[in-house]
Amino acid sequence: MIQQLLDDHSINQEGIFDLLGSLSETGADYADLYFQHSEAESWVLDEGIVKDGSYHISHGVGARSVIGDKTGFSYSDDLNLKAIQGAIDFAKGISDTNRLHQPKILQAASSRAKYPALSPLGSLTPEEKVDVLRQIDVIARKEKNVKQVSASLSGAYSEILIASTDGVYQMDCRPMVRISISVVVEKNGRVEQASSGGGGRYDYRYFVDNGFIEIYTQEAIRMALVALESEDAPAGKMPVILGSGWPGVLLHEAIGHGLEGDFNRKKTSVFSGKIGQQVANEKCTIVDNGTIANRRGSLTIDDEGTPTQETVLIKDGVLKGYMFDKLNARLMGESSTGNARRESYAHIPMPRMTNTYMLSGKDSFEDMIASVDDGIYAKNFDGGQVDITNGKFVFSANEAYLIKNGKITKPIKGATLIGAGDEVLHQISMVGNDLRLDPGIGVCGKEGQSVPVGVGQPSLKLDSLTVGGTQLNN
């Protein structure tokens, strides 16, 4: 599709090279053009009826010129040469020098694809998509306490072409699908709600052929029924066991962002200048890995055309490195790690996470629970807030349990976890052997841009963490 759009406007590789020459003629250290065509749809069910549906197509090009640490950027929703040249003229306006920086000859390259280069939108017929949503409603209403059901099925497909003055000429085709399910349950006048879902870089058949329609629906019901039996959470400092999988969002927010290159170049991260230092318990190894097949946060190439990789951030508790795009890598004397990401052609790229997780340790979950006399087990997380500059966070546990005398007991509600990312890393004393990645629901926001990400971790024991609740801890 992207090639057809370029052909329609008589734009070929030679013409793109000439456009790059114009973009860099005022002395840019680096410049690039990012062409994109995207289509997306969403189907929404509420109370047994598919009440909403949408379909959207967009395309355009972003033009970026970089001199030192300054960036000139503009974009066009039109792919005719005059519109592209207008965006280029604006982007290169950050410099008034005539120091010509000739682009390198564009070299088309291929990287091993991490997902199928096919649009998922046609993998089910419209009738089959509606049937998926109706199946969710039927399954959920078999539980007598379920009073409301809502669900959505969404898919997207993007094709991008990146051309830059360092000779990159790369194309990528990116599918994405997701199911989201929410149920409301009621028992003896008490009402609770819970959500579940998943997805990744698949087509819609992924949900149908692997039984995920049933799995996700039953998980939402299970969590809602647990909430019906929950009691007020205790408050105070206590040991906390974090569940495997989605609770890795705490690592993503409170620690991962602090390891992105821009924050460390500007020395605004608590991890700035600490390469080679012990920043966590020696049991902790954390990586960012954009190469895992079909994962929501994975990319064949990043949004500057650099192949993604597995980057070791912390190994055995020692800080090993940061995540870089080309700009911040160049300014810090490093190489890009394939972490340049942007929401669309209308946004500038910046260093962002892909799939960020802690590797498995050697401790068993059962031993972790048995080691706690009085604490909580936070199995699932909801929302949270983080100050990236100091790593301080507040996260809500939407499924948590009391631990008494080494055993999981009553479910609790209203538990919030309060702390700082760098401090939490030193509070980890046990790392489970049960690493899981999230089901494919992560969305990361930074400076107004949202991108899909993955998180994960094994079960973790934190020796002491502040828990906010409505009940004093006795």
Answer yes or no: do 139 and 53 share one domain: yes
- Domain residues for the domain of 44 are 2-228
Task: Record the pTM.
Answer: 0.95
Neighbours of 303 (CB within 10 A): 28
Answer yes or no: do 218 and 239 share one domain: no
Residues 150-168: b if buried by 16+ CB within 10 A, e if exposed:
bbbbbbbbbbbbbbbbbbb
185 confidence band (pLDDT: 50, 70, 90): very high
Secondary structure of residue 397 in the 3-state scheme: strand
Higher pLDDT, 316 or 389: 316
Which phi-psi region, left, alpha or beta, contains residue 104 (left: φ > 0; alpha: ψ -120 to 50)? beta
Answer yes or no: do 212 and 269 share one domain: no
Secondary structure of residue 330 in the 3-state scheme: helix
Is 80 exceeded by the pLDDT of residue 471? no
Answer yes or no: do 308 and 204 share one domain: no
Answer yes or no: do 75 and 164 share one domain: yes
48 confidence band (pLDDT: 50, 70, 90): confident
Q: How far is CA 89 from CA 66, 70, 148, 242, in A?
A: 13, 16, 54, 52
Is 60 exceeded by the pLDDT of residue 472? no
Answer yes or no: do 267 and 120 share one domain: no
Q: What is the pLDDT of residues 364-386, one digit of tens each?
A: 999 999 999 999 999 999 877 88
Is 90 exceeded by the pLDDT of residue 30? yes
Domain count, the chain: 2
Residue 432 tokens, joined: 């489970």
Q: Provide the pLDDT for residue 100.
A: 64
Q: Provide the pLDDT for residue 474.
A: 44
Q: What is the pLDDT of residues 382-422, one digit of tens each?
A: 877 888 778 889 999 999 999 999 999 999 999 999 999 98
Answer yes or no: do 189 and 264 share one domain: no
Answer yes or no: do 53 and 184 share one domain: yes
Secondary structure of residue 108 in the 3-state scheme: strand
**CATH code of residue 203:** 3.30.2290.10
Alpha-carbon distance 220 to 206, whole Å? 19
- The owner of tokens 């919030």 is 416
Alpha-carbon distance 287 to 108, whole Å? 29
Rg (CA), the chain: 24
- Point out which residues pair with 240 in neighbouring strands: 376, 462
Alpha-carbon distance 400 to 52, whole Å? 34
Share above pLDDT 70 across residues of the chain, in percent, rounded to a whole number: 98
DSSP for residue 256: I
Is 90 exceeded by the pLDDT of residue 52? no
Contact between 65 and 87 under an 8 Å Cβ cutoff? The reply is no
Answer yes or no: do 60 and 185 share one domain: yes
Which of 174, 196, 228 is where one domain is finished?
228
Answer yes or no: do 269 and 211 share one domain: no
Which phi-psi region, left, alpha or beta, contains residue 247 (left: φ > 0; alpha: ψ -120 to 50)? alpha
Contact between 431 and 358 under an 8 Å Cβ cutoff? The reply is yes
Residue 403 tokens, joined: 């631990």
473 confidence band (pLDDT: 50, 70, 90): very low
The residue among 159, 149, 210, 128 whose CA lies nearest residue 34 is 159
Which of 210, 228, 246 is where one domain is finished?
228
Answer yes or no: do 66 and 158 share one domain: yes
Contact between 128 and 205 under an 8 Å Cβ cutoff? The reply is no
The pairing of beta strand 392-404 with beta strand 30-46: unpaired
Is 50 exceeded by the pLDDT of residue 34? yes
- The owner of tokens 């406007």 is 9
Q: What is the pLDDT of residues 95-128, one digit of tens each?
A: 766 666 778 888 888 889 999 999 999 999 999 9
**Mean pLDDT, range 247-264, rounded to an integer:** 94
Q: What is the pLDDT of residues 65-90, one digit of tens each?
A: 999 999 999 999 999 999 999 999 99
Q: Provide the pLDDT for residue 338.
A: 98
Sign of torsion over alpha carbons 235, 377, 404, 375: negative
Secondary structure of residue 467 in the 3-state scheme: strand
Is 80 exceeded by the pLDDT of residue 180? yes
Alpha-carbon distance 20 to 166, whole Å? 10
Is 90 exceeded by the pLDDT of residue 7? no
Alpha-carbon distance 130 to 136, whole Å? 10
Which of 163, 195, 228 is where one domain is finished?
228
Higher pLDDT, 298 or 111: 298
Q: What is the pLDDT of residues 216-234, one digit of tens each?
A: 999 999 999 999 999 999 9
**Mean pLDDT, range 291-298, rounded to an integer:** 98
Q: What value does the mean pLDDT of the chain take?
A: 94
341 confidence band (pLDDT: 50, 70, 90): very high
Answer yes or no: do 294 and 417 share one domain: yes
